[in-house]
C-alpha cells in the first residue's frame, strides 16, 4: 500500500449552505485536504468533531474520538507524521491540555490545525458562554520559545475560508495553526458559498524527494521549511521533541541548538507576507481606530457605521491573522490616517490591547474596552466608548 | 533435524538494525534495556519487516531514548503519550508496522489512561513496556512498579505504595495479546515479541528489565547478573501454567503468552465501515 496522497480529490463541496461556524471549520478542513481528525467532546466545539465523524468516512478519511484531549492532539500529530493532513478541535480546558503536544508539533515542525472555540474561563468557567480569553494562550500556551500561527475568523464564511488557509499555511510551512473562534462565531448560522473558494490554494506539504544517503530532515533550506520525510519513503529519519540539529537527533551544542530554534521562528518572519491577513473598514481618515477580532469585530463594524452616521471619523482594523500580529499594516493604517486614538474592545480583561500598545508604542493613545460576564460586547457599548475616547 | 534456531541467529546481526552513527549508546552498564532492544530487533528481523515499513514510537525516559538507535522511521514523542501518536500514525498509515517502546513510568503512570484505551480499541500496535521499576532518567524516583519497601530518591524510608500487575490490567482492558518475559530469557523474549508483532490487534508485552546503576545500588540488589537471575527465579514460566493443582511458585508472576484472543482489529473495522458508507452514498 502506498502512502495516502494530499492530492486526493476534495469532497464535492459546492453551492450555498446554511452552516454553523463549527461545521464550516470542519468542511473547510475537508475541502483543503484534511483526512484525519481526532477529538474529544467539549462545549462549544463538539460540532466540529460531529461534522468530521459524519463527513470524513465519505472522503476516505479517518475520524477517531480519543480518550482525552491530550490523546487527540497526540493522534493528530501521529497522523501528520505519517503524511496525512490532520486536525483537532477543542475549547479552553481542552486547549490547555493540548498545549504540551502542541509544543511538540512546534518543535518538531509537524503540520496540524487546532480549532479552539473560546468560552468563558478560567478552568471550567462558563462552557456555553462566549469569551475571547485565549488570545494570549493561543500565542504562548505551550512552554518555551516557539513559532505558531493563529487565525481569527469573524463570520461563518471566514470560518470556512480561514480553516482552508490554516491547512494551507500549516502544510506548506510545517507549523501548527490555531483557528481561534469565539463561541458566537462557532454557533452562529450564516449562509456560506462553499464554491467561492473552488480555486483552493496550492496546498502541498514539502515532502522529501532527494537522495536517502546523508539525508538531513531539518536541513536549513532557502525557504527555511525543510522537506519532510514520509515514513515508507526510505529516509528512516528520527523525529524528537528534544532540541535537534539538522540531522534530527538531540543536541546540546549551543550553536546548533540556537540555530535550530532561530530557524523555526525566522521561518514565520520570512513568510510573513503570506501569513498576514487583516481587514480595514473606513480607516483612511479615522481619528479613532477600533481594533477587534471575532464577534467583537462584528459589533465594532456596526458601531463604526453608527458613528460615521453621526459624523465621527471612526474606522475598524480587524486582524484576521491574529498571530503573528499584523503590526506593520496597523502602524501604516494609523500613520496614513493620522489616527489619534485607538480603542480595543475584547471579551477578556485586556489581552489584545497589550499587543496593540506594543505595536503602536505611543503613535496613538490606546484604550481597552473589556467585557467578561459571558455576554457579547454590543455596538452601543463600543460606540459609547469611542465617543468617550474622542471627547 | 535442521537447527533453525542457530540458523536464524546466524542470519541476524543486530548491527543491521542499529544506527551505527549514534553509537556509543547512552545506557548505563548493566542496564537491561539493551537486551530488550536486541530481542525486539531480532523479532523484527524474524518477522521479515522491512526497515522502511517499521515505525518505532517511544515516549520519555530511558526506554524513550531507544528509538533513536533503531535504523527505521523513529519518533521520540512526549512523556506518556507514545500510544496516542502511534494511534494516529497507524490509523493514517495502516501499511506501517508500528511498535511502541515505553517504560513503566511512561506507560503506567502518566500514560496509564492511554494504555487502557489502546487495549480496549485493539488497533494493530505492539506496545513493549520496559519495566525497570523506577524512573531512571530523572535520577531514581519511585514508579508505579516499584515494589513495596524499596528505596528510591522519593521514598528514602522505603516505598509505602503497592505496585500492580500491568499485564492483568492490559488483559482486563481488552488487549487481545498480552505477554511478559524477563531479560535473562532472551530467546523466549525474542519469541514472545515476535508473536506480539505477528498478532493482528493490540499487543502488550511487559519486559522485566533491570536498572542496576540506580535501583540496584539503592536496594543492594547486586550487579546486573544477580538482578536478572533474581527476576528470572521470581517468575512462574508459561510452561508451568497447567500445574495449578501442584502449585509451582503459586504467588509468582507468570511469563510467556498470558492472553491471546481473536477479535476485530480496530483499523480494519473502521475502514470496512467507511467503505460501506461510501458505497451507500
Bridge partner list, A273 = none
Q: Distance between CA B86 and CA B99 in Å, rounded?
A: 8
- Render pLDDT for B187-205 as a digit per residue (tens, 0 to 9): 999 999 999 999 999 999 9
CA pair distance B90, B44, nearest whole angstrom: 17
> How many Å is the Cα radius of gyration of chain A?
21
**A82 vs B88: CB contact, 8 Å cut-off?**
yes
pLDDT in tens, A209-249: 999 999 999 999 999 999 999 999 999 999 999 999 999 99
So what CATH class is A16-196?
A: alpha beta
Q: What is the pLDDT of residue A114?
A: 98
Closest by Cβ to A234, choosing from B52, B76, B92: B52
Give ipTM to 2 decimals.
0.96
Q: Is A34 exposed, middle or buried (0-12, 13-18, 19+ CB in 10 A)?
A: buried
Asked if B81's CB is within 8 angstroms of A101's CB, the reply is yes
Averaged pLDDT for residues B110-125 = 98
Residue B232 has pLDDT above 90, yes or no: no
- For the stretch B130-150, pLDDT in tens is 999 999 999 999 999 999 999
Residue of B nearest to A36 (CA): B92
Beta bridge partners of A37: A63, A87
Q: B51 touching A, CB under 8 A?
A: yes
- Dihedral over Cα of A303, A306, A307, A313: its sign: positive
Q: How far is CA A164 from CA A79, A128, A136, A159, A169, in A?
A: 18, 26, 23, 9, 9
Beta partners for residue B253, in sequence order: B235
Q: Check residue A13 and give its pLDDT.
A: 75
Task: Decide the pairing of beta strands B125-131 and B203-208.
Answer: parallel
Distance from CA of A242 to the nearest CA of B (A): 8
Strands A16-20 and B141-142: unpaired
CB B215 within 8 A of CB B139: no
Instruction: Note whether B227 and B210 are within 8 A (CB).
Output: yes
Taking the C-alpha atoms of residue A342 and residue A328, their distance in angstroms, rounded to an integer, is 15
Nearest CB neighbour to B73, from listed A35, A231, A242: A231
pLDDT tens string B199-228: 999 999 999 999 999 999 999 999 999 999
Strand partners, A109: none
- Most A CBs within 10 A among B85, B87, B276, hence the mutation to make, goes to B85
pLDDT band at B252 (very low <50, low <70, confident <90, very high): confident
The pLDDT of residue B250 is 60
H runs (alpha helix) in A276-376: 294-309, 327-337, 352-360
Interfacial B residues in 92-111 facing A (CB < 8 Å): 92-96
Residue to mutate among A71, A73, A83, with most B CBs inside 10 A, is A71
- Indicate which of B73, B272, B279 best probes the interface with A, i.e. most A CBs within 10 Å of its own CB: B73
Cell digits for B27?
545506557
How far is Cα B30 from Cα B17, in angstroms, rounded to an integer?
A: 21
Q: How many CA atoms lie within 13 A of A251 on its CB side?
A: 17
* Measured CA angle at A336 (ends A335, A337), to 5 deg: 95
pLDDT category at B1 given cuts 50, 70, 90 is: very low
Q: Across-strand partners of A46?
A: none
Q: Model confidence over A293-325: pLDDT tens digits?
A: 999 999 999 999 999 999 999 999 999 999 999
DSSP state of A261: H
Does residue B77 belong to the interface with chain A, where contact is any CB pair within 8 Å?
Answer: yes
Counting one residue from A and one from B, how many pairs have CB atoms under 8 Å apart?
149
| Nearest chain A CA: its distance from B137 CA (Å) | 14
Find, in chain A, the residue whose alpha carbon is nearest to that of B74.
A238
Give the per-residue pLDDT at A196.
Answer: 77
| pLDDT confidence bin for A3, thresholds 50/70/90 | very low
Q: Cβ(A339)–Cβ(A333) under 8 Å?
A: yes
pLDDT exceeds cutoff 50 at A1: no
Q: Identify the band that residue A15 occupies on the pLDDT scale cut at 50, 70 and 90.
A: confident
The answer to whether B95 contacts A232, with C-beta atoms less than 8 Å apart, is yes
pLDDT of A10 over the 80 cut: no
Q: How many CA atoms lie within 13 A of B207 on its CB side?
A: 35
Is residue B278 within 8 angstroms of chain A, CB to CB?
A: yes
The closest of A73, A75, A80 to A102, measured between CA atoms, is: A73
The predicted-structure confidence for A331-350, as pLDDT tens digits, reads as follows: 999 999 999 999 999 999 99
User: CA-to-CA distance for A361 and A365, rounded, in angstroms?
Assistant: 9
Q: Which fold has domain A279-390?
A: Rossmann fold (3.40.50)
Rounded distance between C-alpha atoms, residue B121 and residue B129, angstroms: 18
Residues of B in contact with A73 (CB under 8 A): 84
Residues of chain B with pLDDT > 70: what percent?
Answer: 91
In this prediction, residue A2 carries a pLDDT of 35
Q: Give me the residue from B74, B84, B86 closest to A239, CB to CB.
A: B74
Query: Domain coordinates of chain A in residue numbers?
Result: 16-196, 279-390
Q: Is B76 on the interface with A (CB under 8 A)?
A: yes
CB < 8 Å from A in window 115-174 of B: 116-117
Cβ within 8 Å, pair A71-B277: no
* Residues A14 and A187: beta-carbon distance below 8 Å: no
Tell me the average pLDDT across A133-160.
98
Q: Say yes or no for a CB contact (<8 Å) between A238 and B81.
A: no
For residue A317, the surrounding DSSP H or E stretch is strand A314-319
How is domain B13-280 classified at the CATH fold level? Rossmann fold (3.40.50)
Of B75, B94, B114, which is closest to A239 when you measure between CB atoms?
Answer: B75
Q: Which three cell numbers stand for residue B169?
A: 490490567
Residue B8 has pLDDT above 90, yes or no: no
Whether residue B91 lies within 8 A of chain A, CB to CB, comes out as yes
pLDDT in tens, A101-110: 999 999 999 9
- State whether B85 and A74 contact (CB < 8 Å): yes
DSSP A6: T
State mean pLDDT over A29-36: 95
Tell whether the torsion through CA atoms of A90, A150, A348 and A319 is positive or negative: negative
Indicate the residue of B52, B91, B95 with minimum beta-carbon distance to A79: B91
Per cent of chain A over pLDDT 70 is: 95
Query: Which pLDDT belongs to residue A199?
Result: 56
Q: List helix spans (H) across chain A.
A: 21-31, 46-55, 69-81, 92-108, 135-140, 156-173, 183-187, 254-270, 272-275, 294-309, 327-337, 352-360, 379-390
| Nearest Cα residue in chain A from B87 | A75
How far apart CA A257 and CA A240 sit, in angstroms, is: 13
Q: How far is B114 from chain A (nearest CA, A)?
A: 7
User: What is the pTM assigned to this prediction?
Assistant: 0.96
Q: Which residues of A touch B93 (CB under 8 A)?
A: 3-4, 82-84, 231-232
Alpha carbon dihedral B1, B4, B6, B10, in 10-degree steps, equals: 140
A56 contacts in B (CB within 8 Å)? 274
Q: Are B76 and A240 in contact (CB < 8 Å)?
A: yes
Q: Tell me if A241 and B76 make a contact (CB, 8 A cut-off).
A: yes
How distant is the Cα of B181 from the closest Cα of chain A, in angstroms? 28
pLDDT in tens, B149-184: 999 999 999 999 999 999 999 999 999 999 999 999
CA distance B72 to chain A (A): 5
Asked if residue B2 has pLDDT above 50, the reply is no
Q: Chain B contacts of A70, Cβ < 8 Å?
A: 81, 84
Please give the full DSSP string across chain B, using - where no structure is assigned: ---HHHHHHHH--GGGGB-GGGPSP-PPTT-THHHHHHHHHHHHHHTT--GGGEEEEE-SSTGGGGGGGBSSEEEE--TT-HHHHHHHHHHH-TTSEEEEEEEHIIIIIITHHHHHHHHHHT-SEEEEEEE-SEETTTTSEE-TTPPTT--BTTBTT---S----HHHHHHHTT-SEEEEEETT-HHHHHHHHHHHHHSSS-EEEEEE---IIIIIHHTT--SHHHHHHHHHHTEE-GGGTT-TTS-SSTTSEE-EEEEE-----HHHHHHHHHHHHHHH-
Residue B254 sits at the chain A interface (C-beta within 8 Å): no
Residue B202 grid cell:
493490540
* Closest Cα in chain A, distance from residue B196 (Å): 22
Buried b (16+ CB within 10 A) or exposed e, A278-315: bebbbbeebbbbbbbbbbbbbbbbebbebbeeeebbbb
Q: Kindly tell me if the per-residue pLDDT of A204 is higher than 90.
A: no
The H or E element spanning position A45 is none
* CB spacing of A232 vs B88 below 8 angstroms: no
Residue in A70, A84, A240 closest to B81 by CB: A70
Amino acid at each position: 500500500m502506498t502512502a495516502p496522497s494530499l492530492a486526493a480529490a476534495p469532497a464535492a463541496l459546492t453551492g450555498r449552505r446554511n452552516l454553523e461556524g463549527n461545521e464550516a471549520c470542519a468542511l473547510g478542513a475537508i475541502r483543503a485536504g484534511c483526512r484525519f481528525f481526532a477529538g474529544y467532546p467539549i462545549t462549544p466545539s463538539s460540532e466540529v468533531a460531529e461534522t468530521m465523524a459524519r463527513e470524513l468516512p465519505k472522503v476516505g478519511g479517518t475520524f477517531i474520538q480519543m480518550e482525552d484531549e491530550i490523546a487527540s492532539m497526540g493522534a493528530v500529530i501521529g497522523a501528520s507524521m505519517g503524511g496525512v493532513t490532520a486536525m483537532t478541535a477543542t475549547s479552553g480546558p481542552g486547549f490547555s491540555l493540548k498545549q504540551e503536544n502542541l509544543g511538540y508539533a512546534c518543535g518538531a515542525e509537524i503540520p496540524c490545525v487546532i480549532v479552539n472555540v473560546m468560552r468563558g474561563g478560567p478552568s471550567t468557567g462558563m462552557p456555553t458562554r462566549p469569551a475571547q480569553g485565549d488570545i494570549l494562550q493561543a500565542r504562548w500556551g505551550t512552554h518555551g520559545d516557539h513559532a505558531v500561527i493563529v487565525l481569527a475568523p469573524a463570520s461563518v464564511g471566514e470560518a470556512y475560508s480561514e480553516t482552508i488557509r490554516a491547512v494551507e499555511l500549516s502544510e506548506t510551512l510545517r507549523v501548527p495553526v490555531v483557528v481561534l473562534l469565539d463561541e458566537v462565531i462557532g454557533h452562529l448560522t450564516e449562509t456560506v458559498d462553499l464554491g467561492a473558494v473552488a480555486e483552493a490554494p496550492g496546498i502541498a506539504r514539502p515532502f522529501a524527494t532527494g537522495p536517502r544517503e546523508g539525508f538531513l530532515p531539518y536541513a536549513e533550506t532557502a525557504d527555511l521549511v525543510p522537506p519532510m520525510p514520509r515514513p515508507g519513503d526510505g529516509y528512516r529519519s528520527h523525529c524528537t521533541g528534544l532540541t535537534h540539529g539538522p540531522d534530527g537527533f538531540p543536541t546540546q551544542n549551543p550553536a546548533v541548538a540556537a540555530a535550530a530554534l532561530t530557524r523555526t521562528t525566522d521561518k514565520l518572519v520570512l513568510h510573513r507576507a503570506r501569513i498576514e491577513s487583516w481587514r480595514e473598514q473606513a480607516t483612511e481618515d479615522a481619528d479613532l481606530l477600533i481594533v477587534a477580532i471575532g464577534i467583537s469585530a462584528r459589533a465594532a463594524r456596526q458601531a463604526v457605521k453608527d458613528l460615521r452616521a453621526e459624523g465621527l471619523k471612526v474606522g475598524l482594523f480587524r486582524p484576521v491573522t491574529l498571530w503573528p500580529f499584523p503590526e506593520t499594516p496597523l502602524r501604516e493604517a494609523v500613520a496614513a490616517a493620522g489616527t489619534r486614538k485607538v480603542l480595543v474592545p475584547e471579551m477578556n480583561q485586556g489581552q489584545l490591547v497589550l499587543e496593540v500598545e506594543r505595536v503602536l508604542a505611543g503613535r496613538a493613545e490606546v484604550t481597552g474596552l473589556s467585557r467578561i460576564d459571558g455576554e457579547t460586547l454590543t455596538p452601543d457599548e463600543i460606540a459609547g466608548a469611542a465617543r468617550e475616547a474622542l471627547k | 533435524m535442521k537447527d533453525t534456531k542457530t540458523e536464524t541467529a546466524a542470519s541476524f546481526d543486530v548491527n543491521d538494525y542499529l544506527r551505527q552513527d549514534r553509537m556509543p549508546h547512552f545506557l548505563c552498564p548493566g542496564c537491561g534495556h539493551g537486551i530488550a532492544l536486541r530481542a525486539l530487533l531480532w523479532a523484527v528481523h524474524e518477522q521479515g519487516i522491512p526497515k522502511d515499513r517499521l515505525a518505532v514510537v517511544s515516549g520519555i525516559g530511558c526506554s524513550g531514548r531507544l528509538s533513536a538507535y533503531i535504523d527505521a522511521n523513529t519518533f521520540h514523542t512526549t512523556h506518556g503519550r507514545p500510544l496516542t501518536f502511534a494511534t494516529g500514525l497507524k490509523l493514517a498509515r495502516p501499511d506501517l508496522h508500528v511498535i511502541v517502546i515505553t517504560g513503566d513510568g511512561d506507560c503506567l503512570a502518566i500514560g496509564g489512561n492511554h494504555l487502557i484505551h489502546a487495549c480496549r480499541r485493539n488497533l494493530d500496535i505492539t506496545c513493549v513496556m520496559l519495566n525497570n521499576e523506577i524512573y531512571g532518567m530523572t535520577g531514581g524516583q519511585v514508579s508505579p512498579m516499584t515494589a513495596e519497601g524499596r528505596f528510591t530518591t522519593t521514598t528514602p524510608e522505603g516505598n509505602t505504595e503497592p505496585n500492580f500487575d500491568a499485564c492483568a490490567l492490559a488483559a482486563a482492558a481488552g488487549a487481545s495479546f498480552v505477554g511478559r518475559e524477563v531479560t535473562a530469557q532472551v530467546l523466549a523474549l525474542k519469541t514472545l515479541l515476535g508473536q506480539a508483532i505477528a498478532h493482528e490487534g493490540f499487543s502488550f508485552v511487559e519486559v522485566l528489565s533491570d536498572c542496576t546503576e540506580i535501583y540496584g545500588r539503592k536496594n543492594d540488589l547486586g550487579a546486573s547478573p544477580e538482578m536478572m537471575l533474581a527476576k528470572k527465579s521470581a517468575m512462574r514460566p508459561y510452561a508451568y501454567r497447567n500445574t495449578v493443582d501442584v502449585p509451582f511458585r503459586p504467588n509468582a508472576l507468570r511469563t510467556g503468552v498470558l492472553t491471546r484472543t481473536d477479535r476485530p482489529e480496530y483499523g480494519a473495522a473502521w475502514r470496512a465501515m467507511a467503505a460501506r458508507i461510501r458505497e451507500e452514498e
